[in-house]
Structure formats: C-alpha cells, structure tokens
Amino acid sequence: MSTNITLLIVMGVLFAVGIYLLLERSLTRVLLGIVVLGNGVNLLILSAGGRRGEAPLYQSALGPEQYSDPLPQALILTAIVITFAVTAFMLGIIYRSWVISRADVVADDVEDLRVSQQSTFDFEEDSPVPEDTTEFEGDDFVPTDTTTDKGPGA
C-alpha cells in the first residue's frame, strides 16, 4: 500500500493550523481550529483506510481482496457528526459570550489569578515532621492480649 505524499503534507498542515488556532484566546478561532482539525482527522482516517475497491456489497464474482473496507467510511461519518455537534456547541458558547460581554475572547479569571499568585507553601504538607512519632512514653510498652476467647462454656 502506498500513501500519497501530497495527502500527508495536507494532513500535516491541517493539524498544525488546527492546533495553532485551538491555542488562541478568541473563541471564533478556537471554533475554526476544531473544524480544521476535524478535517485533518478525516483525511487521516481516509488515508489509513487503504486502497480503493468495490462497494462492500456481496457479489459472488468478486474475491474478498477486491472489496473496500467499510470501517474507515463509518469512522469518517462518525467524525463528521461529532465535529458538527462540537461546532454547534461552540457556536452556542460564542453567541452566549457575545451577548453577555460583547467579546468572544476568553478573559482571565480573577480567582485563578489570585490562586496562581499565592505561595506554594502548605503548612500541613511542608512543615517538618518530628523524628519520634510515637504517642507512648518509654520503650517498655508491650501490647497484651486482653480478648482471649476461652469458648462459650468457660
């Protein structure tokens, strides 16, 4: 099986552009990144599907090696539906963000900034632990068995 080098280059460019757009702060660019990345995944599944063949409908005159594999086609269809659903969800988020704040940029959360500027010292985890952690005085403590069971008739 030989893979078209042009298809691989297009896939690489789609993945690079999609990931670059996903890392932006604008929700519109994130949406475009998801769509471009979804198309790159579809091309990846298509190229991994192997060579072209006849439709996967049984014909007695054809051997099994002449059929095309229907699994990549089903996976691409599933990926298209998932990308559409994520796109619809992101469009809802973008619209809601635009209605509330008139911007589609993800802003820094004030509480997250406050937490990130706090000291990383935790008193319970980072305080020194004393060498001797036993709560008993002296070394002569020997546990005794006070629950000796001598049976029901003892």
| Residue 49 counted as domain residue | yes
Task: Give pLDDT tens digits for 38-74.
Answer: 999 999 998 888 777 777 777 788 887 777 788 888 9
| Residue 12 counted as domain residue | yes
CA angle, residues 18, 20, 26, in degrees to nearest 5: 95
- 126 vs 149: which has the higher pLDDT: 126
Q: In CATH, what number is assigned to the domain containing residue 32?
A: 1.10.287.3510
Task: State yes or no: pLDDT of 108 exceeds 90.
Answer: no
Mean pLDDT of 68-87: 91
DSSP-assigned letter for residue 152: T
* Contact between residue 118 and residue 80 where contact means Cβ atoms under 8 Å apart: no
| Residue 134 counted as domain residue | no
| Residue 80 counted as domain residue | yes
Segment holding 53, helix H or strand E: none
- Give the integer Cα–Cα distance in Å for 108 and 115: 12
Mean pLDDT of 111-132: 79
- 5 vs 49: which has the higher pLDDT: 5
- Give the integer Cα–Cα distance in Å for 31 and 14: 14
- The dihedral over CA atoms of 128, 133, 137, 140, expressed in degrees to the nearest 10, equals -140
How far is CA 108 from its chain centroid? 22
| Residue 128 counted as domain residue | no
| pLDDT the model gives residue 37 | 95
| Residue 154 counted as domain residue | no
Task: Give pLDDT tens digits for 142-153.
Answer: 566 666 656 565
- The proportion of the chain whose per-residue pLDDT surpasses 90, expressed as a percent, equals 38
Which residue segment(s) compose the domain that 81 sits in? 5-55+67-109
| Residue 139 counted as domain residue | no
| Residue 142 counted as domain residue | no
| pLDDT the model gives residue 142 | 59
* pLDDT grade for 23, boundaries at 50, 70 and 90: very high
Domain count within the chain? 1
pTM beyond 0.75: no
Q: How many Å is the Cα radius of gyration of the chain?
A: 32
